[in-house]
Amino acid sequence: MTFAPTNGALPAGAASPWPAPMASGPVDATLAVPASKSLTNRYLVLAALADGPSRLRAPLHSRDSALMIVALRQLGAVIEEVDGEGQFGPDLRITPIPSGALLPVGTAVDCGLAGTVMRFVPPLAALTGGSIAFDGDPAARQRPMGPVIDALRGLGVEIADGDGVPRALPFTIKATGRVLGGHLIVDASGSSQFVSALLLAAPRFEAGLHLEHSGNPVPSLDHIGMTVDVLRGAGVVVDDSVPNHWIVSPGPIQAFDVVVEQDLSNAGPFLAAALATRGTVRIAGWPSRTTQVGDQWREILPKFGAAVSLRDGVLTVTGGESINGVDLADTSELAPTVAALCALATGPSTLSGIAHLRGHETDRLAALVAEINGLGGSAIETADGLAITPAPLHGGLFHSYADHRLATAGAIIGLAVPGVEVEDIGTTAKTMPEFAGLWAGMLGLPGVVRPSGSGTPAGFGTPDSPSSSSASSSSPPAGFGTPDSPSSSSASSSSPGR
């Protein structure tokens, strides 16, 4: 029996299962991935509050970014597509929300399952005038929201609970157009987004904001560092010199023109393919300086036995003869990809410091245990993570729980285990609609769907322009596949056109 985590119900009949392609040999591919969701949605929020029009070059076009765009339009921002040079869609020009404008009756924000929308938009909405209703997907109603709602109430914002659980979606903000600001204490131990949400809007609070965290350690501090970095880039003064304190001075947010970095976390499954197939994957355009948590792949993957190098903006990962077990802490949103590699490893692994993943799109810890074990693996939950020991794996259905990172974890395991099917690969549209096409291109499969140079903010269209990947046609090495499982292949060995 498959266990369904409590805050991520299995989608009923949402899509046909996707047969995860098994690699025919060591992969040899070079590619780029779409832009960072975390950066795109932070920039969109700042642009909506800026002192003039801004431009995002090569932004992400996905469900999460589309939900943010629609939300900001509902609040009065004008967001237009303009031609650009990005591989995965057009640029965006943002005209900020007019100061003092009153919102029409019935204004509503659909958060979908996007944590950045449900948490980042309410503080911004409090700066408008009118009543704004917030709701989202059924699973979104179970994601933690209390600290953001409590914080806004503490700042004098009137919020009415909806018909669900108090301090969660749905709720309605009755905005007056002003937020005083000042000193505020929150417990952000459940998500770093609770901090980022308040910091992004804080320059527009009349007294700015002195935000203090009180509670267990804040997870994913790198994401708060990203928020501070983009604020400073827009001319905002932020003092984060004292741990667990962030002081944002009131003042204008300067309009900006920025190229959005590609999503280094979403590059993870492709890099993991190098280890799963004993091959080589190169990600072009890797930044030399970044605040993205995905840059940790450069430290994580060598612990699994991979060779990793960064030269001239190209990150190259080559898998070893086997995948080592690891002992890792604080892998944050990278954990599902890490867990998939642990399931293919030859030694035991422990992942700690990731208890907060129980409150993500689904309970990721419970989901990973259920799905790894469903394929014959041996995984258990710990108080703050996972323990995974080697076991022969077999094919089967890998449930995705409407969670993009669960879907890609299943794809990784499927590279080395025959007969794996991912329940709904379409859920990757949350942050990377191009995933299935890029995955096929990496493997050299025929009929590759490739990225286009244009699209709509909805961002769910299938791309169709050439990609820059190639795959090796060599035979699998001895022992290829999971430990104790035979080698087999269901993938074509031909290389795609360029």
- Residues with Cβ within 8 Å of 296's Cβ and at least 6 positions away in sequence, in order, are 331, 334
Half-sphere exposure of 6 (CA within 13 A, CB side): 4
- Given the structure tokens 């408008």, which residue do they identify? 128
- Residues with Cβ within 8 Å of 110's Cβ and at least 6 positions away in sequence, in order, are 67, 70, 71, 135, 136
Q: Count of CB atoms within 10 A of residue 176's CB?
A: 14
Task: Enter the tokens of residue 312.
Answer: 């001239």
Using an 8 Å Cβ cutoff, are 144 and 190 in contact? yes
Residue (of 68, 462, 485, 71) closest to 276 by Cα position: 485
Using an 8 Å Cβ cutoff, are 467 and 31 in contact? yes
Give the H/E segment covering residue 437. Answer: helix 435-443
- Dist CA 399 CA 397 (whole Å): 6
DSSP H helices in 145-295: 146-154, 193-201, 221-233, 268-277
Is residue 158 flagged as an active site residue? no
- Dist CA 400 CA 15 (whole Å): 11
- Residues with Cβ within 8 Å of 203's Cβ and at least 6 positions away in sequence, in order, are 49, 231, 236, 248, 249, 250, 251, 252, 253
- Residues with Cβ within 8 Å of 177's Cβ and at least 6 positions away in sequence, in order, are 100, 127, 128, 129
Using an 8 Å Cβ cutoff, are 41 and 62 in contact? no
Buried-state track 265-290, b at ≥16 Cβ within 10 A, e below 16? bbbbbbbbbbbbbbbbbbbebbeeeb
- Residues with Cβ within 8 Å of 472's Cβ and at least 6 positions away in sequence, in order, are 25, 26, 27, 28, 279, 444, 493
Beta bridge partners of 320: none
For β-strands 108-110 and 396-398, DSSP reports them as unpaired
Given the residues 333, 361, 371, 434, the one annotated as active site: 333
DSSP H helices in 75-211: 115-125, 146-154, 193-201
Task: Enter the tokens of residue 314.
Answer: 């190209």
- Dist CA 123 CA 97 (whole Å): 14
Farthest CA pair distance, the chain: 68
What are the residue numbers of the active site? 333
